[in-house]
Structure 1
Amino acid sequence: MIRHLVLFKLNEGVERDDPRVVAGVDTFRALEGRIPEIRSWELGWNFSDRPIAYDFAISSSFDDRAALTRYLEHPEHQAGVAPWREFATWVIADYEF
């Protein structure tokens, strides 16, 4: 199995209630069940106020690296990620478990 972690940091001046952010989160929430490669899907807002914390996280799992690649290339995933480029940066980690 592969774990795919994504941590998002909203750009300076962008808040959680920004309509772009709300739409972006809604789009990510809708991906579960729409892309067959997804085995597990969790997402949520960070509640820590530590300065090193990121704002939003997605934790998902896939059967293998090929399934992760198909997910990453899937048109619905690409459409979901595209708007986030306007208001956030992110880091990822992919690992086998």
Structure 2
Amino acid sequence: MPEQVFILSIREDIRLNLQNKSLCAIKDSHLNQIINTWIQDIKEGYRDSTLTLQLPLLIEAGIDQINEQGNQENPTIFNPDLSDIEPVFGMLPPLNFS
């Protein structure tokens, strides 16, 4: 009865150990898939299990939870002084098309 061994506290210990060793985020669905594979293999008498998963890195999994504490103020907006700017001959195309 291997399913009786994998109680909630043991599942969380397994998740933490696997995350620490792999540096990958292991979600509930991944953990369930791992444990269900183990249970099935144990019932069939296997001592080893092979399982391939695409796991996100721990650093990528928590990127949405980052709270940036940098400067949040908008810069002061000012109107530039354009009084000294004049067009230079040859810089603008002629406006008469005849």
Normalization by structure 1: what TM-score?
A: 0.26
TM-score, with length taken from structure 2: 0.26
Higher relative contact order (CA 8 A, sep 6+): 1
Q: Which has the larger radius of gyration?
A: 2
Q: Give the structure with the larger helix fraction.
A: 2
